[in-house]
Amino acid sequence: MSWKEVDKGWGDQAKVWAAVMEPRWWPEFDAVLRATNVGQDMDYLDIACGSGLMVNMASRRGARVHGLDASDRLLALAKRRTPTADIRHGDMNALPWSDGSFDVATSCRGIWGPNQDAVHEAARVLKPGGCLGLSFFSAGREGSQVGKAFHAIRRLSEHEIDWSKQLGAIGLEGRVEEMCEAAGLIASERQSVQFDLEGADIEHEVRAWMSAGPAWMAIQERGAEEVERSIREELSELEEPGVGVRTQVLIEYVVATKPT
Ligand X SMILES: C[S@@+](CC[C@H](N)C(=O)[O-])C[C@H]1O[C@@H](n2cnc3c(N)ncnc32)[C@H](O)[C@@H]1O
Q: Which residues bind ligand X (CB under 6 A)?
A: 3, 6, 10, 22, 25, 48-50, 69-71, 74, 91-92, 108-110
Query: Residue 38 or 92: which CB sits closer to ligand X?
Result: 92
Least distance to ligand X from the beta carbon of 241, Å? 30
Query: Residue 68 or 245: which CB sits closer to ligand X?
Result: 68
Query: Residue 151 or 239: which CB sits closer to ligand X?
Result: 151
Least distance to ligand X from the beta carbon of 211, Å? 11
Query: Residue 110 or 133: which CB sits closer to ligand X?
Result: 110
Residues in Cβ contact with 14 at an 8 Å cutoff, skipping those fewer than 6 apart: 51, 71, 73, 74, 76, 77, 211
Least distance to ligand X from the beta carbon of 90, Å? 7
Distance (Å, whole) CA 245 – CA 196: 9
Least distance to ligand X from the beta carbon of 69, Å? 5
Q: Which residues pair with 122 in a beta bridge?
A: none
CB 44 within 8 A of CB 68: no
DSSP E strand boundaries for the chain: 43-47, 64-69, 86-89, 102-108, 126-137, 186-187, 191-199, 239-240, 244-257
Q: Alpha-carbon Rg of the chain, whole angstroms?
A: 18
User: Which position's Cβ is nearest ligand X?
Assistant: 50
Query: Residue 8 or 260: which CB sits closer to ligand X?
Result: 8
Least distance to ligand X from the beta carbon of 153, Å? 13
Helix (H) or strand (E) segment spanning residue 229:
helix 224-235
